[in-house]
């Protein structure tokens, strides 16, 4: 069911011929966003703002990006066995997506790692090109074919310039979850962002297909249930990403689940009133004295008047409330990470001391859940603001499991 990949097709098909006549070069537009400047110079100028690197996010830049590993040593314990324990930086803007991915020390199983980092992937998915995901990373990087970062073609048709979804793994996930057309239409602007800002995994068995674990819903519990009951190609049950040798247990690594956090549980006040990612992160803003839809994808706090004042009269109060939520979640994030590190080391010590294997198995099961729930919030790029209720709940669950581990060995 890919009929909704271009939701606006019915509306624009009648004007395609006219668009071709008035802008004959549009058909040549592709993954290089610079080529779109001719038709949308103000939007392109807005897009270039994504090159900015802010000192409040990267105090030592240039040249050093903010390293989570340097500031949170507990990551070396919970992520022992995966390269995130050695290389995990705060992201820069979307235009750095290819550069920063290629510079990362983390393992890259194939060209599939460009799926959300390079605009070239938009056409690979829409053209249904088979097997490109498994091309070796070194070969793909050396080719230069994926050098264009996130850009215009990811969300816009190159002929009509209408918005459309290009990542078919997203539309496949919506189909498999049997989400109706009303949901898709009502959430279309957010789904454009959900092409990348989601939790995902590479399908086991060699294909490396990007797959979204949404069969049961969007909440952290829904996704954990999905992974715990996933049937692997060899018939075993349970999906994991890596083995942690400190706790001697297999774990899941979560990836930026912004869309899931936004939609989870129906508890996000902005979602309940029909707001979308675009409303806050891409407000109407002046560009060369003309008001356009901003293509500077950044925190709404950097343009709080444009993002918030259409609903909130006191933007200073909104800014203060936002920072209060984020500071609360950030403090909990650090404190619970310390508990997780203690729990991982407690399991390691207990094994060395010859503690009963059944007790160790119980502790490792708790550790799997504790790390999962913590990472579901920590890997999401809003410090809980996208859904404070869901963030607090997931952190509470993580803390409870970590404390149960420590209680087992006291």
Q: How far apart are CA 90 and CA 138, in angstroms?
A: 24
What is the model's pLDDT at position 10?
35
- Taking only the tens place, the pLDDT of each residue in 32-68 is 999 999 999 999 999 999 999 999 999 999 999 999 9
pLDDT band at 179 (very low <50, low <70, confident <90, very high): confident
What is the model's pLDDT at position 11?
33
- Taking only the tens place, the pLDDT of each residue in 310-339 is 999 999 999 999 999 999 999 999 999 999
Does residue 22 register a pLDDT over 80?
Answer: no
Q: How far apart are CA 125 and CA 132, in angstroms?
A: 10
Ordered by where they begin, the domains of the chain are: 1-23+86-165+182-197 (1.10.1130.10)
Angle between helices 357-378 and 388-408 (to 10 degrees): 160
Average pLDDT estimate for 366-372: 98
Contact 329, 388 (CB under 8 A): yes
Q: How far apart are CA 194 and CA 184, in angstroms?
A: 12
Does residue 192 register a pLDDT over 90?
Answer: yes
Contact 319, 385 (CB under 8 A): no
Whole-structure pTM value: 0.92
pLDDT band at 25 (very low <50, low <70, confident <90, very high): low
- What mean pLDDT is reported for the chain? 92
Place of tokens 């954990």: 224
Place of tokens 């010590």: 349
- Taking only the tens place, the pLDDT of each residue in 108-123 is 999 999 999 999 999 9
């Amino acid at each position: 069911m890919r009929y909704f990949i271009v939701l606006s097709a019915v509306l624009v098909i009648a004007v395609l011929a006219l668009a071709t006549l008035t802008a004959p070069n549009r058909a040549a537009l592709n993954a290089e966003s610079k080529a779109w400047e001719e038709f949308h110079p103000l939007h392109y100028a807005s897009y270039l703002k994504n090159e900015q690197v802010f000192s409040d996010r990267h105090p030592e830049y240039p040249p050093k990006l903010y390293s989570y590993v340097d500031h949170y040593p507990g990551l070396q314990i919970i992520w022992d066995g995966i390269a995130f324990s050695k290389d995990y930086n705060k992201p820069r803007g979307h235009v750095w997506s290819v550069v920063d991915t290629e510079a990362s020390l983390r393992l890259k199983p194939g060209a599939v790692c460009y799926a959300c980092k390079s605009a070239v992937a938009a056409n690979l998915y829409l053209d249904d090109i088979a097997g490109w995901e498994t091309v070796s990373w070194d070969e793909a990087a050396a080719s230069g074919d994926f050098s264009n970062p996130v850009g215009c073609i990811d969300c816009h048709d190159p002929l009509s310039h209408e918005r459309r979804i290009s990542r078919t793994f997203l539309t496949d996930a919506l189909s498999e979850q049997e989400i109706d057309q009303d949901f898709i239409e009502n959430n279309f602007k957010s789904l454009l962002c959900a092409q990348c800002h989601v939790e995902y995994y590479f399908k086991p068995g060699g294909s490396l297909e990007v797959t979204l674990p949404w069969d049961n819903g969007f909440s952290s519990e829904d996704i954990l249930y999905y992974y715990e009951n996933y049937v692997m190609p060899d018939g075993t049950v349970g999906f994991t990403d890596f083995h942690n040798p400190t706790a001697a247990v297999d774990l899941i690594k979560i990836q930026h689940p912004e869309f899931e956090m936004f939609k989870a549980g129906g508890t996000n006040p902005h979602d309940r009133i029909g707001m979308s990612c675009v409303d806050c992160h891409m407000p109407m803003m002046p560009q060369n004295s003309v008001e356009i839809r901003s293509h500077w994808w950044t925190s709404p706090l950097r343009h709080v008047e444009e993002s918030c004042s259409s609903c909130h009269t006191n933007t200073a109060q909104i800014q203060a409330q936002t920072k209060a939520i984020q500071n609360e979640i950030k403090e909990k994030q650090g404190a619970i990470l310390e508990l997780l590190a203690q729990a991982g080391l407690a399991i390691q010590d207990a094994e060395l001391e010859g503690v009963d294997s059944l007790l160790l198995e119980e502790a490792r099961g708790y550790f799997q859940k504790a790390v999962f729930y913590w990472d579901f919030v920590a890997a999401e790029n809003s410090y809980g603001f996208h859904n404070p209720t869901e963030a607090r709940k997931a952190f509470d669950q993580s803390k409870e499991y970590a404390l149960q581990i420590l209680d087992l060995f006291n």
